[in-house]
Structure 1
Amino acid sequence: MTAQPRPLRSVLYIPGSKPRALVKAKSLATDAIIFDLEDAVAPDEKAAARELLVKALDEGGYGARVKIVRINALSTPWGLADAQAARDMGADAVLLPKVDGPADLDALAELIGDVPLWAMMETPLGMLNASQIAAHPCCHGMVMGTNDLAKDMNARHRADRLPLMTGLGLCVLAAKAHGVAIIDGVYNAFKDEEGLAAECAQGRDMGFDGKTLIHPAQLDIANTAYSPSPSDLELAARQIEAYEAAVAQGQAVAVVDGRIVENLHVATARETLAKMDAIQALAAE
């Protein structure tokens, strides 16, 4: 069974300017943390937040959680200093906001060398260039910035996110085509558990690897939505067993619950089981 990449079901934003939040994040059940130096930090706190984050990451204690630092755009007064600091923070990746095209990643890569890059996908131009961004040799992940995208599109908020579907779909396709992680945007109403669960289910159905979150209260819902359910695991095991039995009898397909099972379905079933193995391994670390 092929090992799954490290799970990214839940990706929690933590303000780089909040010492208590930086400490609390060490004990939260989040698969990844985005340490934010951009939107979550006021302009007059930018420099102090950068220094605080350098110290926090140097102290460590975040375990197996994927550590991602979101810097300010290089066009801002803080972007260059953020990039230079992030280069040596020991994070797993640096997240660049408002990526319009691969040239934006080129500019950051020149500053930080071989540190993996992630791209915030939050502009109309970024949607149109999603494939080229995902294909960048330094790009390891993409994060949807749905609030900024909706603003730039002058789109209205809808529970079904219909105005954003083209952009969301383009980014999922780009990420899957080039083998990079793809994380859905935030759900703003952090007390609306039903709405969050529905949006997580939609994102999972579309093929997203996980969801960005703005509050720890959202973690359980995202982790559950992006984990294989007991019925998923049971069906996967039965599909593999039935297919292997069919192959042993010289047949190319099997039937499970009245549905044809071919090798492509078995590949998906094996990925489902491997994903659960990776989730359990993460929980044990």
Structure 2
Amino acid sequence: MTTNPGRWRSVLFLPASNPRAIAKLTTLACDAAILDLEDAVAPDAKAVARAAATAAVLAGARAAIRINALDTPWGLDDAAAARGALAVVLPKVGGAADLAAARDAIGDDGPPIWAMIETCDAMLRLAEIVDVAPAVRCTMLIAGTNDLAKEMRCRPGADRMPLVPALTQMVMAARAADLFVLDGVCNAIGDEARLAAECAQGAMLGFDGKTLIHPSQIDAANAAFAPDPDRIAWARRVVDAFAAPEAVGKGAIRLDGAMVERLHLAEAERVLAML
């Protein structure tokens, strides 16, 4: 598993009730994992799954924990157990009040919150959600495309056309608040062409990475959301050019027959930070 703290190309959902899957986590090439206590775990397995997720985090797994909603019988216990995780993934965030309640349950010194945007209500309140993000230490938005499609009653095909406007709004909201943002899962396990197309689409829309539901999807996400060699070479040239003595104090310089500005330098530094 990667250790670059600013890279989220591939984030794999794993049921916390599956010990064999958790045992293999350190051997996988995903950038992080989300140990799921919510949808993937049956009610009678919640307590056992919670203990397994906590043990995995204590053992050093780079893993967030998706808790059950705070108004369920398990939510508050989940929040307490997730205090040592990489992050607490909060499902079905509806607005600022949900994030504030989660922060209270986790504690001020607990891990950051990753907010799942998977309802029509959340889409209408994106501005409210990102506005409160700094105060509650919410650092990530995650597109919950399956639940969102269900609420919308839309029928997304391979191109996910009905969801694209919502996905674009999530990216814009995240960027306005300087948050990371992850694309939703691809349900078509084994369909390599569809997975590659979704990853490419997500990267084109501006997502930092993609949530996954199977280890076989990791390589495709890592490839799609990593900068290609040409992009890396460009970034290095930009950084080197602005570091040259003749560029000191300049807002724009000429490079490769084009004008590049300080905004391009910031982008170049972001690309290199992903390596």
For residues 269 and 51 of structure 1, the distance between their equivalents in structure 2, rounded to whole angstroms, comes to: 42
State the match for 1:281 in structure 2: none
State the match for 2:68 in structure 1: 72
The total of aligned residue pairs comes to: 266
For residues 218 and 235 of structure 1, the distance between their equivalents in structure 2, rounded to whole angstroms, comes to: 28
For residues 40 and 222 of structure 1, the distance between their equivalents in structure 2, rounded to whole angstroms, comes to: 22
Is the CA contact 2:238–2:268 (under 8 Å) kept in the aligned structure 1? yes
State the match for 2:185 in structure 1: 186
Is the CA contact 2:6–2:273 (under 8 Å) kept in the aligned structure 1? no
For residues 98 and 83 of structure 1, the distance between their equivalents in structure 2, rounded to whole angstroms, comes to: 15
What's the CA shift for 1:145?
0.3
Tell me which of the two structures has the higher relative contact order, counting C-alpha pairs closer than 8 angstroms and 6 or more residues apart: 1
Is the CA contact 2:156–2:163 (under 8 Å) kept in the aligned structure 1? no
Is the CA contact 2:251–2:262 (under 8 Å) kept in the aligned structure 1? no
State the match for 1:213 in structure 2: 212
Query: Any idea what the Cα deviations from partners look like across 1:160-198, whole Å, max 9, x if unmatched?
Result: 222112221221111111112111100111211121111
Q: Does 1:201 align with 2:200?
A: yes
What's the CA shift for 1:243?
6.1
Is the CA contact 2:252–2:260 (under 8 Å) kept in the aligned structure 1? no
- Code of the aligned partner of 1:166: P
State the match for 2:97 in structure 1: 103
- Code of the aligned partner of 2:104: E
* TM-score, normalised via structure 2 length: 0.89
- Code of the aligned partner of 1:175: A
- Code of the aligned partner of 2:96: P
SS in 2 for 1:69: strand
SS in 2 for 1:92: coil
Q: Does 1:144 align with 2:143?
A: yes
- Code of the aligned partner of 1:113: G
Instruction: Give the alignment's Cα RMSD to 1 decimal.
Output: 2.2
Quick one: structure 1 residues 270 and 111, their matched pair in 2 at CA, closer, same or farther if it must change by over 3 Å? closer
Which residue of the other structure, out of 130, 134, 138, is the alignment partner of 2:130?
A: 134
What's the CA shift for 1:84?
2.5
What's the CA shift for 1:236?
2.3
SS in 2 for 1:150: helix
What's the CA shift for 1:267?
2.5
- Structure 2 matches for 1:236-275, cutoff 5 A? 236-241=235-240, 247=247, 252-256=252-256, 259-275=258-274
Quick one: structure 1 residues 232 and 47, their matched pair in 2 at CA, closer, same or farther if it must change by over 3 Å? same
For residues 38 and 122 of structure 1, the distance between their equivalents in structure 2, rounded to whole angstroms, comes to: 14
- Code of the aligned partner of 2:90: L
